[in-house]
Amino acid sequence: MASLFERLKSDCADDWRDYTHHEFVESLGRGDLPSAAFQDYLVQDFLFLIQFARAYALSIYKSRSLAEMRGGLDGLKAIMDVEMDLHIRMCDRWGLDAVDLEKVPEKSQTVAYTRFALDAGNAGDLLDLYVALAPCMIGYGEIGARLADQQGDDNTYAEWINEYASPEYQELVSATIANLDELAAVMMTEARYPQLKLLFAAATRLESDFWQMGLDAAASEA
């Protein structure tokens, strides 16, 4: 039987492909993404991660057991201790430290996506929240693994790609997929599935908008 994630991914195949094979992603893999596009994306993604961390903190509050709380804590620690460190390390090379990054205004795409995820969790239960977060947590792992197999040795963006292709992040992806299945076994009915699919599809499209934001920023500077 397919996992809940695989079912959602299959039923939202067009949106998923648009997200995971967006021109931003493909250019990142080739190493020819304009630096302005990547820098704009990475700064906004740092701001995104602040709100994403809040969403995982909310998952701890929404949890019904210590095991679920520990799962939420693992996700929160991965964001704050791994992903944020990557962003700060890379942005520091452009003269932006963590204090500077927090002062950058959020763009509309950042606000739209992060508040969507937080609203899904606040209005719904733990399964709603994790379905809304799944395209980011799982999609980045899928993208990182695919690009790592394709990139050349001198790819400018190898550090970013290798972070999401790393065994540690891939383990987090597997745990996220398994967690969705555990929650679905208890909390999902077929009558509920269409609403979960709507959440997943919307979050996936918001991911694509986030990539496009970076390309648009580079185009405006050209």
Report the C-alpha gap between 23 and 203 in whole angstroms.
Answer: 18
Q: In the 8-state DSSP scheme, what is residue 79?
A: I
Residue in this structure with the two tokens 């961390």, named with its chain if needed:
53
Report the C-alpha gap between 43 and 48 in whole angstroms.
Answer: 9
Q: Please pick, among 12, 68, 83, 136, the residue that the annotation labels catalytic.
A: 136
Q: Please pick, among 68, 83, 142, 207, the residue that the annotation labels catalytic.
A: 207
The answer to whether the CB of 204 falls within 8 A of the CB of 5 is: no
> Can 136 be counted among the known catalytic residues?
yes
Tell me the torsion sign for CA atoms 141, 147, 149, 152.
negative
Q: In the 8-state DSSP scheme, what is residue 112?
A: H
> Can 83 be counted among the known catalytic residues?
no
- Pair of tokens at residue 116: 């969507």
Nearest to 117 by CA among 72, 55, 58, 59: 55
Positions annotated as catalytic residues are 136, 207
